[in-house]
Structure 1
Amino acid sequence: MDARAHFLQLARYNVWATRRLVEALAEVSESDYRKDLGLFFKSIHGTLNHLLVGEHMLWYPRFARGVSPKVELNAEVEPDRDRLGQALKGGAANWLPLIESWPAERFNGALNYTNMRGQAMSLPFAATLAHVFNHGTHHRGQVTAALTALGQPCPELDLVYLLQEESKA
């Protein structure tokens, strides 16, 4: 599999897993959703805000425009639960056309951007893009662990389930 196909697959997985997680969270009470559950960003709400900041407000602009907006990793950028879910789903979908727009050789290059402190950075492009999708998987895993601890049903988010769905289509 070539790099573009691989990252498009990861981007589709990101859309699929984000949608499934947001749907599963609809059944969680407001108090449980905002409760400090011992996660790195405390609550489910805090963790989802961190995903919005990291994936869509920092890394997406870095890959799309080479810049980093100034926003804290633990910022509550969207206090409304429903709007946060919509922003996460919409943000996940934005990666697909961006990845499709890159020529094949782009994946072998460097990602040049300015970090939040204004410093010029250069990282391996493909490895850093892999970080973005791995980061989302990591934090979705934290949220599913919180769901389990709360006694809530937990969605299956393994990549293999998306692959099975796609193979049937």
Structure 2
Amino acid sequence: MKRTEQFRLLAKYNEWMNLKLYEAAASLPAAARKADRGAFFGSLHGTLQHLVAADTIWLRRFGSHARFAQVLADCTALAQPPSLQGEEMAFGALRERRVFLDRQILRWTDALSEDDLDQTLQYRSMKGAPGSRPVDGLLLHFFNHQTHHRGQATTLLSQAGADVGATDLLILVADL
């Protein structure tokens, strides 16, 4: 499997899991979504908000590269989140932003070439420190970060009594 195909699979998994998370989260009262459960970002809502903020930050960074500027123009037009916690958003607005971002990620990964993955992205951290890394490694980080925090979100949902169902990437891998 080519690297581009692997990233397209990860983008599809990302969208699928986010739909499942938000569906399960929507089944809870707002107070349960916002209850501080001691997670990295406190609540389920805070965790989902962090994922939206981090994805926005990274998509804006990727969109700053000339090779990706056109396909990610809608992402670079978004405001830079003020922190890794992001801006406070109501659940409905957060869900809409998540769907928007996931569609952008799918569109971008569908447009990626193997040569694109060998590009170097120069960017600045949230603290202003310069970074310069290969796009393929940054994409691995991007998707791994999402999986890490979605794992936390599924635990928070379980603690609140909501079942996300099956979460394995294997479900989306074609059976031979």
Counterpart of 1:60 in structure 2 is 59
1:48 and 2:48 equivalent? yes
Alignment map for 1:117-132 (pairs within 5 Å): 117-132=127-142
Counterpart of 2:152 in 1: which secondary structure? Answer: helix
Counterpart of 1:98 in 2: which secondary structure? Answer: helix
Counterpart of 2:2 in structure 1 is 2
Aligned residues: 163
Counterpart of 1:95 in structure 2 is 105
The answer as to whether partners of 2:40 and 2:47 remain within 8 angstroms in 1 is: yes
Among residues 82, 85, 90, which one is paired with 1:71 in the alignment?
A: 82
Counterpart of 1:142 in structure 2 is 152
What letter is aligned with 2:13?
Y
- Whichever structure has more helix as a proportion of its residues is 1
Counterparts of 1:135 and 1:123, CA distance in 2:
16
User: How does the TM-score come out when normalised to structure 1?
Assistant: 0.87
Deviation at 1:138, TM superposition (A): 0.9
How big is each residue's C-alpha offset from its partner over 1:3-57, in whole Å with a ceiling of 9 and x where there is no partner? 11111111111111111111111111111100001110000111111001001x2
The answer as to whether partners of 2:20 and 2:164 remain within 8 angstroms in 1 is: no
Unaligned runs of 5+ in 2: 66-75
1:116 and 2:147 equivalent? no
1:104 and 2:114 equivalent? yes
Deviation at 1:119, TM superposition (A): 3.8
Deviation at 1:78, TM superposition (A): 4.3
Runs of 4+ that moved beyond 6 A? none
Deviation at 1:63, TM superposition (A): 0.9
Counterparts of 2:92 and 2:80, CA distance in 1:
24
Counterparts of 2:34 and 2:127, CA distance in 1:
30
Counterpart of 2:72 in structure 1 is none
Deviation at 1:110, TM superposition (A): 1.8
What letter is aligned with 2:60?
P
Counterpart of 2:173 in 1: which secondary structure? Answer: helix
User: How does the TM-score come out when normalised to structure 2?
Assistant: 0.84
How big is each residue's C-alpha offset from its partner over 1:115-138, in whole Å with a ceiling of 9 and x where there is no partner? 334443201211110111111111
Task: Classify 1:99/1:153 alpha carbon distance in 2 versus 1 (closer, same or farther; 3 Å).
Answer: closer
Deviation at 1:83, TM superposition (A): 1.4
Counterparts of 2:24 and 2:123, CA distance in 1:
35
Percent identity of paired positions between Structure 1 and Structure 2: 32
